[in-house]
A = this chain, B = another copy of it.
Amino acid sequence: MGQDPAAIIAASVAELKARVADAAAARFGFALKTTEFPWSCDYYLKTGEMMPADGIAQLRPFDAIYLGAVGWPKTVPDSVSLHGLLLPIRKAFRQYANIRPHRLLKGVEGPLKAGGFDILCIRENTEGEYSGAGGRVHQGTPDEVAVETAIFTRAGVERILRFGFESAMRRRRKLTSVTKSNAQKYSMVFWDEVTDQLAKEYPEVEVTHTHIDAMAAKMVMAPESLDVIVASNLFGDILTDLGAAIQGGLGFAASANICPDRSAPSMFEPVHGSAPDIAGKNIANPIAAIWSVAMMLDHLGEKAAAEAILTAIEAATATGVGTRPGSHSTDAITTAVLTALEA
């Protein structure tokens, strides 16, 4: 013990990011200036906080943040570690668009018999069911009641839906708005109304309203029918883990937390957590982390480098590297991608 898997992962992910980004930078002739922050559960155990009081201010000047997974539930409850680092960063920097691509990379065998889907999931990232509003009364007694309040603002709902419509316009022009308006008659009926209003501005986009339960089923039964999905914080969270599953597992799921107006840094991270059970064993799949580097470079304007990384990832997976759990070490997969990238 005494070692924080989250820190280990963060460190190795940071190293990985450096290696991949440096290789891309060398090939495409740009330079990245990076600073590392050791904020983690380990840091919490030493200081009592997940990041310094001025952590947000320290991060603000950067163009982008790359986050190694965080969490070490054995000693720091997730509710502490995430509310002290990941979630405040998303909120403080108005990273309201959490973007997660789901498709099968070449050579990867997913759990579904079906293949051939290409989904872009856009998750609201700053409010809704994860607003952090609520409370408990009569705590510890038989009369205890806990409430958790989802808060949806028009500003918040409109901007994420607009982001979704704009994304759909750049893709196959199909947008599925996911709610649960048949059972949540305030928040989700509101979301549906805003969707219908915005839809008028985007007549070229084919809009479908789907309930979260039906949507979960559809991701498994007919993923090829989906293009862009827009969903609330919680629903997007669930659907993107499901998206990760159908694309072969969390080892393949990359993500970007975007502040679209660029008034603050955006943040890039694999969807997976710190995976304490396998941390430090050199068996974690680094592809989600590398794909997230590509998303970061794309956001920074280095589109050719981003595409080259994705091509390199698929050059590796197409030959079977990293496509089955345990078949290759973290290092071996990274090396295969780097080799392809430098080629």
Contact = CB atoms under 8 A, between A and B. Distances in A.
Interface of A: 71, 77-79, 82-83, 87, 111-114, 129-130, 132, 134-136, 141-155, 180-191, 212-214, 216-218, 220-221, 233-234, 237-242, 244-246, 249-250
Contact of A214 (B77, B87, B233, B241): B241
A292 B165 CA distance: 41
Contacts of A111: 112-114, 220-221
What is the oligomeric copy number? 2
Given A111-B221, A148-B187, 12 more contacts: A79-B189, A87-B183, A134-B149, A136-B190, A147-B149, A147-B187, A148-B149, A150-B150, A212-B234, A212-B237, A216-B239, A238-B238
Contacts of A132: 185
Nearest to A218: B245
Contacts of A184: 129-130, 134, 148
B142 A154 contact: yes
Contacts of A141: 154
B154 A147 contact: no
A82 B16 CA distance: 51
B130 A183 contact: yes
Nearest to A148: B187
Nearest to A114: B111
Given A113-B113, A186-B136, A220 B245 contact: yes
